[in-house]
Structure 1
Amino acid sequence: MGERRLDDADVVMAIGVISGTSMDGIDVAVVRTDGDLVVEPGAGLTLPYPDDVRAALVGLVAEAERALTEPLADLEQAVTDAHIAAIETFMAHAGIDRRAVSLIGLHGQTVYHRPDLRFTRQLGFGAEVARRLGIDTVNRFRHADVEAGGEGAPFAPLYHRALASGLAQPLMVLNLGGVANVTYLDGDTAIAFDSGPASALLDDFVMRRRGVAYDRDGALAASGRVDEGLVAAFMENPFFARTPPKSLDRNDFHRRAAGVEALSDADGAATLAAFTVESVAASLRHVPAPPARWLVTGGGRHNAHLMGRLRARLGVAVEPVEAVGWHGDFLEAEAFAYLAVRARRGLPLSLPTTTGVPHPMPGGELHRAG
């Protein structure tokens, strides 16, 4: 991309690592980049959390306000250990010599995100990662943004913009993770915001009802009947009319969607899937022009029922990001590798149109290996 060559001195190898709000694993990926126009994604790998660590995180997220005041030192150490192990496993799996890696972008595990309180918390000790791996590490990507009054999310839009520079636009990138977020791209314009619920509501519902982690291929939802009245009631939430930028915590809609508890397993799953689709469609109120194409990343792109409903509702091409050669399972990990390089160069990580921050905002904290 751009006119620079990949052997330029400012192009480096960076590794990004993140565990999303669904907490289904730790994603690690490598990118060769200058943090600007040059982007060459490489290998990626997902490693599970140890069972006890995931259970502790699930317990914390159920009482997320604890993250405001509790030190959580033991849990943060366990998360850090798991991330270091994941990076080491990834480098061995991909045949990467750690001496060739210039930088690690450690997003860590989000456990509470409340920009209205100017508070966000991601677990993971950046200084310890740098020391133990011997590689400079950037963490705390979101904090400067939130402290300046931004939403602190979503944080991948500048990476989406770099990847999409050669694609027909306007284009919408939809990330169906624990929550859903969108990036609208048209030339230099990048508009981004959280659009509503996604996998977190569905996953937690089927875990309560069926004891399984998620609705594989959307089969349960596909077998049920949507309660249109409930979906309409859910969509009356003022969040959807709010002008972006705007962001959500993983659990923001759980209490508000409690009406599904009176439904059968299948009907509840169908109704929550329909709610996600309607909230995605509502995002079109907040972009300058309807895109002719949606590219979908995040675990939700594997849900055949959800993807089918999105195509029917949006009436245009809705495709997994693999359709344009992107790595859907590792896009966010790649993004934080890219953002780590931007952070080290002092370049903005977020914009007024992506998080509502007052001006293009650098961020991240750099920890030297030595």
Structure 2
Amino acid sequence: MGSEHVLAVGLMSGTSLDGVDAALIETDGEAHVRPIAFRSEPYAETDRRQLQAATQRALACAAPGADATIDAAAAMLTDRHVAAVRRLLAEAGVAPEQVAVAGFHGQTVAHRPDRGWTWQIGDGAALARALGIAVTDDFRSADVAAGGQGAPLIPVYHRALIGAEGLPAAVLNLGGVANITYLDQDRLIAFDTGPANGLIDDWMAAECGRAFDAGGALAAQGHVDASVLDMLLDSDWFDQPPPKSLDRADFTIQPARGLAPADGAATLTAFTAATVALALDLLPARPARLIVAGGGRHNATLMAMLAARTGLPVTPIEALGWNGDATEAEGFAYLAVRARRGLPISFPGTTGVAAPRTGGRHHDPQR
């Protein structure tokens, strides 16, 4: 693959387990990015439960390996991604042979860089065969094997989106876990800040039988319990300098158990906002504003708490002309092109790896 502009598909299934995001972009893997199409395919409840079961099994494993529950979930996940790409390309009027590569993140079932591994399930070779498109997957393992955190990886895409004229800047991504990217003319720094939607979603499932707090409506009705919030914040992890990353399961809703549903939602939402505020102290300079991507930007209560606790304007990424729901999927299309061209996808300032490095496994289709 040369340095010309190509079409690439990016696929993301986040730890919130809400569905498959699929994006089509035109890019050279460097400065040129042109979004073309995006769609999100929600998981059925049976799919969510299957992925939750696979995650529970993976978290109990000493290392990635064969497991019937996890393997079945990986097959289901791959099938859902095949369907999402076919619908995306049909809507865009693009034939598979026009697409240079698909970047397939897969589903993270356990992230343990402290043990030297990270585990994303999904069969990239099967995806390539089904679609007739070259696939790059397993973006994180090479970085972890080289001593990096394996996350976050999207910061290099943030740099391409914002461009040199938009620097300095800070981009906050609110998925199951939150991460922040800081960019200036000389530096690219990124790290996980703490939970984002993950704990709120867990609380809603446990206390209300709902998948998430739509718009932050329940949290808006509650009161923050200061003692529980202090307990949640009582972790040395927040003081650790970057780079650093989290598994979605590293924090739990247990400290909030016993609170009324609205108060628990408010307290866990405040926890996300408070951890972002703490993270700003770890940046080389305080940004003028926070540009927010990811599903959490739809939570009005969280966005208001972020503004209050950070003292900064909090701006959805749409203000820059981008689609915040599509950012991560687009990012993996961009990373796939970079990886195919041997360009770095992780950096000392983003994952802690000793030197910039590429990554991913490449699967060619049988056309």
TM-score normalised to the size of structure 2?
0.95
1:85-164 aligned at under 5 Å gives the runs: 85-164=83-162
Q: 1:339 aligns with which of 335, 340, 345?
A: 335
**Aligned position for 2:301:** 305
Give SS of 1:59's match.
helix
Partner of 2:280: 284
The runs of 5 or more residues in structure 1 that have no matched partner are 1-7
Match of 1:217 in 2: 215
Structure 1 residue 62 displacement after superposition: 3.4
Structure 2 SS opposite 1:251: helix
What secondary structure does 1:353 align onto?
coil
Could you tell me which residue of structure 2 aligns to residue 367 of structure 1?
A: 363
1:227 aligns with 2:225: yes
The 5-angstrom pairing of residues 9-20 of structure 1 reads: 10-20=4-14
Alignment-derived partner of residue 48 in structure 2: 54
Match of 1:358 among 354, 358, 362: 354
Paired residues of 1:170 and 1:289 also in contact (CA < 8 A): no
TM-score (norm 1): 0.95
1:38 aligns to what?
A: 32
Cα separation, 1, equivalents of 2:187 and 2:92: 35
Q: Distance in 1 between matches of 2:357 and 2:212?
A: 36
Q: 1:222 corresponds to which letter in structure 2? A: A
Q: Is the contact between residue 18 and residue 108 of structure 1 (CA under 8 Å) also seen in structure 2?
A: yes
Separation of aligned partners in 2, 1:303 and 1:104: 30
Equivalent-residue separation in structure 2 for 1:291 and 1:169 (angstroms): 10
1:182 paired to 2:176: no
SS of residue in 2 equivalent to 1:104: strand
Shift of 1:118: 1.1
Give 3-state SS (helix, strand or coil) of 2:58's partner. coil
**What secondary structure, in the 3-state scheme, does the structure 2 residue paired with 1:122 have?**
strand
8 Å contact 1:16–1:334 — kept in the other structure? yes
Match of 2:310 in 1: 314
Query: Within 5 Å, which residues of 2 pair with 1:229-308?
Result: 229-254=227-252, 257-308=253-304
1:36 corresponds to which letter in structure 2?
E
- For residues 166 and 22 of structure 1, what CA distance do their matches in structure 2 show? 32
Matched letter for residue 266 of structure 1: A
Q: Is the 8 A contact 1:197 1:276 kept in 2?
A: yes
Distance 1:45 1:180 in 2: 22
The answer to whether the Cα contact below 8 Å between 2:232 and 2:255 also exists between their aligned partners in 1 is no
Task: Identify which range, 286-295 or 228-237, moves more after superposition.
Answer: 228-237
Conserved 8 A contact 2:222-2:264: yes
Query: Cα offset for 1:49?
Result: 2.4
CA contact (8 A) 1:102 1:136 kept: yes
Matches for 1:19-34 after TM superposition, within 5 Å: 19-34=13-28
AA of the residue aligned to 2:358:
P
Partner Cα separation in structure 2 for residue 163 and residue 289 of structure 1: 21
Contact 2:164 2:185 in 1 (8 A): no
Displacement of 1:92 in angstroms is 1.1
Distance, in Å, in 2 between the alignment partners of 1:110 and 1:360 is: 23
* Distance in 1 (alpha carbons) for counterparts of 2:251 and 2:58: 14
What secondary structure does 2:212 align onto? Answer: coil
> 2:186 and 2:162 mapped to 1: Cα distance?
11
Paired residue total: 361
Give the Cα separation in 1 of the matches to 2:233 and 2:167. Answer: 28
Divergent runs of 4+, >4 A: none
Letter in 2 for 1:168: G
Q: Percent identity?
A: 50
RMSD: 1.4
Say if 1:165 and 1:187, in contact at 8 Å, map to a contact too: no
Counterpart CA distance in 2 for 1:9 and 1:330 is 24
Q: Which amino acid aligns with 2:89?
A: M
1-structure distance, mates of 2:267, 2:60: 31
